[in-house]
Amino acid sequence: MRKRELLFIRILFLTVFTFGAIDAFAQSRTITGTIHDENNEPLIGANILIEGTTNGTIADFDGKYHLEIPEGTNNIVVSFVGYLSQTIAIGTRSVIDVVLEADAEQLEEVIVVGYGTQEKVNVTGSVAQVDSEVLSAVPTPDAIGALQGRIAGVTVNPGQGPGATPTIRVRGVTSMSGSNDPLIVIDGIPSTVENFATLANSDIETISVLKDAASASIYGARAAAGVILVTTKRGKTGEPTVTYDGYVAMQSMTTTPNYMNSLQYMEAVNRGFTAQGGNEFYTEQHFETVRNGGDHLMGQFDWWDAVYRDNAPQQSHYVNVTGGTEKTKYLASVGYMDQQGFYQTENYFKRYNTRLNITTELSKRLKATAQMNFTRQEQQDTGDAWRATQALAMVPLNPIYNQDGTYNITRPVDNTRFENTLAHMKLSDYIRKVNQLQSFLSLDYEIAKNLTITGRTSMNFRSFEQNHFQQGYQFVHSHNNAVGLNLQSAAAEDWNNSMRVVNDLVMNYHVDFGKHHIGALVGIAEEFFRNDRLYGRRVNFANNQLRKIIAGGQAGQIAESNAYDWALQSQFARINYDYDKRYLLEVNVRRDVSSRFHKDNRAGVFPSVSVGWRIAEEDFFKDNVSENFISDIKFRGSVGSLGNQNINNSAVTNLYYPYMGVISAADYPYNNELVMGKAQNEMPVPGLKWETTVTYNAGIDIDFLDGKLGTSFDYFKKITSDMLLPLPMSAVGGLGNPWENAATLENTGWEFDIRYSNTTKSGFTYGIGANISHFTNVLTDLAGGFSEYSNQFREGDPIGTIYGYRTKGIYRDQAHVDADNAKLADASLKNGVAQTRNVMLGDLIYEDINGDGIINHEDMVAIGNTLPKYQFGITFDFAYKNFDLSMFWQGAADIDGYVGYNVFAGNKDSNLRDFYTDAYHPDLNPNGAYPRFSPDENSQNHEVNDFWVQSASYLRLKNLQIGYSLPQKVTDQLKIGKARVYLSGQNLLTFTNFDEGFDPEVVAPMNQDGSFEVGDVRPSFMPTVRVVSAGLQVTF
């Protein structure tokens, strides 16, 4: 008997009450008793029901119960998850004690794996699973966010802004140009991360993560970056039950950057000019104007408050109805989520979910499952996050509005024009609508004993619509009322319709003979995807109210469309064998044929094998080690190969078929005018083939103290070869760089998790869990060398490396400056290269790595890495009587962030960080900690260098929640099954040494489309959101 699982079940029943209570009858009597297991342990939360009804009660912390029954009641039914139910005759007894017998089959924890399930003790691959209780404990806009820090080896980076899809990675980066998104499989149907994000948290039953090749190779060509299996909830037998789960919340930013006020800014600009031998830009009269409150031409203006608001509401509401008979079960649900953004303009994301699934037994051997899901998303924002971030760079001297209330575009003093970021945000909006309908039908037929066949078909229709309108507006200079800019009205519409069809047929067989168990699975699958896009744009609208394209002018109009499709055909098989549940073996193989590659390279075969040994089942172990001390030990090992056909198509016009090259529109001169035609701009490479990842994994699982304490450890190595890259070639041919299988990436790492749970005799339940993962990568082979930019790849270095200059301090001595400038001039003359910019006092001193006397790209070396080497999570759970408390910490270590971009936002026409009050000045601040500020960008301090690299390690309180479940007496009076209220806080505390004002959690440069942009070394302006929520969970 697995007491750890029983303990978890008890904890679950401590925090929720089962529905149903008996009404008061005029003629009734009371029976009492206790419910225990075979070891005389009380079964807390056991159900005691009047037979044939849903009226009943549950056992308390001591296993005791009392139940009022109407006259004429003959039997009660006593049940508890993991035990065999009993129907007991009452007779004339008033005290009935019950001992439930453990159900050995139910006590074995079941894990969802590819195309089926397995008992956890028999799993030989690296698989982790979380259930609905974990997901519902964190009120997040999507289930992906709830996974952060919960599973070792899984990285989640929050999305930026309402409706943004989080980025998820399994065991780091697998590809340089392909997708690093794991394959998402929802109810057995391959899907995408975007579709995963649309699911309501309360609709999900379990999430399994397949991390190694042995567990993921059954999905072959798309499993190189891992597989996430999502199982949604199904109907249950019984009377109709209605469940509500909802919350209201308020969001705020976890941190905001500090920039200079007007007086600080003017002082910094003047110091910048005088530090390089120039004159002050702002006079004392300018300072005096600002000190006296300013005027309509200059003053102290808060652009941040004009663009952003401090708080933004969020809410979520979910209702499901479930019930059914032994033959037919159903579940219907609806959900609504509304997340407002922080912009002062219209900025929101709304999602509507509906779901219906029905399972019915058509005959003794045939079962059918039908499901239909509809999701609608609505989103509005500025469409350009860059505009909002410019609020940080807006000079506080610049008025936001003119005296007449119109938008200002005039800088004080020199009267030049600037971009008013608030105006552009207010005058431009993007409205997106996404409708998605998915239908699913499954038939399960029992051909013979232990032999079943399952056929499934699924269709997913997705419609994306984006409407953009930019209002026409005339900007006038505040100093002379002259027209400074005529913003032309414009509208654009973008339509994308896609369809995904998935069909599969799977046959399962299992047999036991003696101590031998064999399970076999074979299947075929096919998938087809098509996308059609239509885009149009017109300008010069009659007014700002007519916003459809038809109302715009025809001059300069744009109309374009495109379409693409791809298909995948697969055959797969799996064999499981175990002897006496001691020696375990699993073999998987999958063959995929993808239309994305040339016909000679379309097929790929991806095999894997894994073994396991449960040493605790050996007689010699049982004879020497107490089962109460060590309950189970399992050694695991696996090796296998996986593929990647998901090539990133953002680098060129179209890479869905990279072997073909690309032909796009082009203009040709003909008869003294340009004529539209076509031109090839990418070289075809018919020999392109799969990216292949070979994974080695070794692990051990140990359960101690009769299952109360459990640990797992995994070590892995992933080698991805034949990675697709656009290799440099001569520009003489006039074509873009051809894509080739040209690189090899090696990932190594380990994962460890530990968990402990217990319940005291007084009924106090507590648990603690922790996980940590460590992984690194290195490019072991890279054809074509590297470029001279900071987003380069270099053989022998890891992906995520920041390349830049090493610094040796700040120039504080003129003799040092003169000597280095002389060296630079001499080296430039000897080498016949153009002389780079001379250095000045206050500049950073760059190290001449190659010793040629010139500071250029050849001196750029690895100065940091934006991928964390360590990630961890720590969970605490407590429950006593009707109260429960949970706390979750998450963090990352050995990760770097580059903050220079946020320092050098521009020149004197951009605001500065407040720490620049301590910038070097030869007279006023010769010991300044920061390099001089160059108001006219006359310095090299803005080049990528290690002065601006900081540790982005952090520890964050991700979630703190306290809940209270109403007592049974109250729920009985309210005629409800159970009710729980809670208060929750997310991202409440952060400990870090990273640049104050920017969030270390979102420094990792991973794009939302799944590509990995190594060169984007800047931290995000939009921090992780702090959320305080109040929620209610009720079952009727």
Question: How many Å apart are CA 198 and CA 165, to the nearest integer?
Answer: 9
Strand partners of residue 320? 243, 333
pLDDT averaged over every residue in the chain:
85
Whole-number pLDDT of residue 736: 64
Question: How many Å apart are CA 961 and CA 966, to the nearest integer?
Answer: 16
Residues 302-331, buried b or exposed e (16+ Cβ, 10 A)? ebbebbbeeebebbbbbbbbbbbeeeebbb
Q: What percentage of the chain reaches a pLDDT higher than 90?
A: 47
Question: How many Å apart are CA 950 and CA 995, to the nearest integer?
Answer: 7
Q: 675-730, pLDDT tens digit by residue?
A: 767 666 667 777 778 889 999 999 999 999 888 899 999 999 999 998 877 776 65
pTM as predicted: 0.84
Locate the DSSP E strands across 284-395: 311-324, 328-340, 348-361, 366-381
* Whether the predicted pLDDT of 1017 surpasses 70: no
Q: 141-195, pLDDT tens digit by residue?
A: 888 888 888 899 898 888 778 888 888 999 988 887 777 889 999 998 999 988 9
Question: Do 218 and 572 touch, CB atoms closer than 8 A?
Answer: yes
* Whether the predicted pLDDT of 111 surpasses 90: no
Question: Do 660 and 683 touch, CB atoms closer than 8 A?
Answer: no
Q: What percentage of the chain reaches a pLDDT higher than 70?
A: 87
Question: Do 119 and 110 touch, CB atoms closer than 8 A?
Answer: yes
Most confident of 485-499, 847-861, 891-905: 485-499
pLDDT band at 991 (very low <50, low <70, confident <90, very high): very high
When comparing pLDDT for 643 and 244, which is higher? 244
- Please give the domain boundaries of the chain with CATH numbers for all domains: 3-106 (2.60.40.1120), 806-859 (no CATH)
* Whether the predicted pLDDT of 8 surpasses 50: no
Pair of tokens at residue 418: 């600037």
Question: Do 390 and 421 touch, CB atoms closer than 8 A?
Answer: yes
Residues 554-570, buried b or exposed e (16+ Cβ, 10 A)? eeeeeeeeeeeeeebbb
Pair of tokens at residue 46: 């056991």
Locate the DSSP E strands across 102-174: 110-113, 116-119, 127-131, 154-157, 167-170
Q: Which of 956, 987, 965 is nearest to 885 (CA)?
A: 965
Cβ neighbours of 494 (radius 10 Å): 16
The CA–CA distances, whole Å, from 310 to 252, 289, 830, 1029 equal 6, 29, 58, 16
Name the burial class of residue 669, with classes exposed (0-12), middle (13-18) and buried (19+) by CB atoms within 10 angstroms of its CB: exposed
The CA–CA distances, whole Å, from 16 to 13, 21, 691, 972, 974 equal 5, 14, 48, 14, 16
Name the burial class of residue 26, with classes exposed (0-12), middle (13-18) and buried (19+) by CB atoms within 10 angstroms of its CB: exposed
The CA–CA distances, whole Å, from 645 to 177, 523, 651 equal 11, 21, 16
Question: Do 323 and 238 touch, CB atoms closer than 8 A?
Answer: yes
